[in-house]
Amino acid sequence: MRKYLSILSDMESKISEGQYRPGQKLPSVRSAALTYGCSVSTVLRAYAELEKRHAIYSVSQSGYYVVDRPKAEEDASVSTMIDFSSASPDVNVFPYLDFQHCLNKAIDTYKYELFTYGDPQGMEKLRHTLVSHLAGAQVFTAAERIVITAGAQQALEILTKMPFPGGHSAILVEQPSYNNYLQLLESEGVPVIGLTRTAAGIDLQALEGHFRSGHIKFFYTMSRYHNPLGTTYSAEQRKAIANLAAKYNVYIVEDDYMADLGEERGYDPIYAYNRTSHVVYLKSFSKIIFPGLRLGAVVLPEHLLQTFKAHSSYGDTSLLSQAALEIYISSGMYERHKQKIYSQYEVRMQSLNAAVQRYEGTGLIEAVPGGGGIYKLFKLPQTVNLERLIRRLQERNIHVVSGKLFYLSDYLIREKFIRISISRARLDQIEEGVRAIVEEVKREVGNSW
């Protein structure tokens, strides 16, 4: 079963990335069996599934060929724009057919249940399915402590506005951090404190000082595949953060929204080291399936559950979407699609790292080290005018994101950088895009090398 899924994922990736072009003949069944080290029947099963998904078609006595894409899709795939800015999944790998099947199955299975108000905590069957799903990420909980939300963003808004035990009001955030959440905090006038995070992590003594002060409501953190850094806390730091939260009775809100986009061995979230119920765990599904799904889950300590539910907006999440997601996960489709997305992003990140290595040492860019996920941060010389650089790149049809967006407006300890995302950058564009960035940075600093 696992071999069949890996072949299917690899073939879909090669078709999506253009290694197999529309109309091109695929390797024969016997040749593919030798390549993958499996039986002919396993390859036939993978090819049959690809044919079912309208990705390939068979010609009697000839073999299997890649289906021609619609003209609009072809035009999009050969776009000259290099998109290093978008954090959304690649539209070419959205699981349209699978999820359509799950939607139809949900209607057949649940019928009238989908058109009632339902449980404000979220569909019970989905929450029970998530118990097993989250356990794979070392997040062990009960269905009663899971609340389904309209994405992780809604969960963050509720947590920000609801009272926490102790009555503290200040929220501690990493700097840099998730720009949309920083905007929410500042627009709502929430007391917020920044704490510098670098590729090496955070200063644990500084963190302890903030916790000891008695002012912190919770510490918001992205423990792995941080946005915008792209980095992950070491196991020692994750354990230390959990221990400090327990010691000083401060809560952690752990946004693990990219948990499914990596294969780090031995990775346990901060939640896994939580022995005193001081960690709130956030899970998103939009980065794997598609943004429009707008479903997330929050795992809450029991003593926060009723307060969170009281501040939730009733009926924000579609029961049909929840039912379809439950089928998508329990059927194994989610796991297969996750592996497909991961393998594609891994290849793109490897290409980005290889391109960076050609230019590091020139003094023009310095890439923050980090593997997995979709982000990489390019540090720039202080003499670079960031707005002008981004404008010049846009003139060359290359889109990146300014590092200024990821800081609180009054935070003074800043690094000058641009954030690079590979989720919608085609594999054949990455080298060209990095070269153009280096050329424009060189133009900015007036260097010659």
CA separation for the pair 65, 51 (Å, rounded): 9
For the stretch 63-102, pLDDT in tens is 888 886 655 444 444 568 899 998 887 777 778 788 888 9
Is the pLDDT at 219 greater than 90, yes or no? yes
Q: Which residue has the higher pLDDT, 113 or 405?
A: 405
Question: Across all residues in the chain, what is the average pLDDT?
Answer: 87
CA separation for the pair 172, 195 (Å, rounded): 7
Q: What is the DSSP secondary-structure string of 290-308?
A: -GGG--EEEE--HHHHHHH
pLDDT of 341 reads: 85
- Over residues 6-13, the mean pLDDT reads 81
In this structure, of 10-14, 72-76, 364-368, the range with the lowest mean pLDDT score is 72-76
Q: Which residue has the higher pLDDT, 78 or 293?
A: 293
For the stretch 123-155, pLDDT in tens is 999 999 999 999 988 999 999 999 999 888 889
- Over residues 326-348, the mean pLDDT reads 89
Global pTM reads 0.82
pLDDT of 328 reads: 93
Above pLDDT 70, what percent of the chain? 92
CA separation for the pair 152, 399 (Å, rounded): 26
The domain 96-331 having CATH identifier 3.40.640.10: the answer here is yes
CA separation for the pair 37, 312 (Å, rounded): 51
pLDDT of 74 reads: 47
CA separation for the pair 42, 219 (Å, rounded): 48
* Dihedrals phi, psi of 37, to nearest 5 degrees: 65, 45
CA separation for the pair 309, 122 (Å, rounded): 11
Report, in this order, helix, strand and coil percent for the chain, each rounded to 5: 50, 15, 35
pLDDT of 51 reads: 77
CATH topology of domain 336-445: Aspartate Aminotransferase, domain 1 (3.90.1150)
Q: Which amino acid is at 436?
A: A
What band does 283 get if pLDDT is binned at 50, 70 and 90?
A: very high
User: CA–CA distance from 321 to each of 59, 151, 154, 259 (Å)?
Assistant: 37, 12, 16, 21
Angle (deg, nearest 10), helices 124-135 and 319-330: 40
From 2.40.30.10, 3.30.930.10, 1.20.120.80, 1.10.10.10, which CATH number describes the 2-75 domain? 1.10.10.10
- Per the structure block, which two tokens stand in for 384? 């670079």
Sheet order of strands, 401-402 included:
366-367, 375-379, 417-421, 401-402
DSSP annotation of 95: -
Domain spans of the chain, in order of start: 2-75, 96-331, 336-445
